[in-house]
Structure formats: C-alpha cells, structure tokens
Amino acid sequence: MGPIERDEGMDRTYIPLPGGWEVQTKGNGSTFRICGPDGVCLPIPDAPYLHYTLEIMAYQIHKATESAILEAAQKERERITGG
C-alpha cells in the first residue's frame, strides 16, 4: 500500500487501501471511483454524502493500516535486535 497522492491539477486524491484497492475522489471533470486490485474501477454516481462518507472511511482505513504496518515493523526490529 503506497502513500496517498494528490493531483492538484485535477483536484483529485488517490487513497490506496489494503489488498490493492483504491478510492479516487471526484475531481475536475471526473467521477468518484472505487478501483479494485484488478484495475477495474467502479464509478460512484453523484451522491455528495456517500462520497464524503467513503472518502473519510478510506482515509481512516489507510491510516489504521499504515499504523499497523509500522507497529509490526517495530516489533520485528525489536525481535531481531533483541531490544
């Protein structure tokens, strides 16, 4: 899972999620999309409250997953170094 990316020119944010999923926010002239690990993107019709809820959910999942990865790496480092 990579970092969250922002395309200022399109006013769009790409939020990667575990398992290869990604949420692409609505930008200038584009649609809100949820993309699967196979690269297929599902456009989500205009529904501002749904877009907002899915975007917040994606940010929270990204943050929680990133925190869990960092915690696991720290534990592994401690196991290897003995401290």
Neighbours of 54 (CB within 10 A): 17
For the residues 1-11, what does the mean pLDDT come to?
92
Query: Looking at 27-36, 40-49, 64-73, which range is the least confident one?
Result: 64-73
Report the pLDDT value the prediction gives residue 51, as an integer from 0 to 100. 93
* Of residues 42, 44, 39, 35, the one with CA closest to residue 15: 35
Report the pLDDT value the prediction gives residue 14, as an integer from 0 to 100. 96
Reported in sequence order, the residue ranges of the chain that DSSP labels E, i.e. its strands, are: 5-7, 12-16, 22-24, 32-35, 41-44
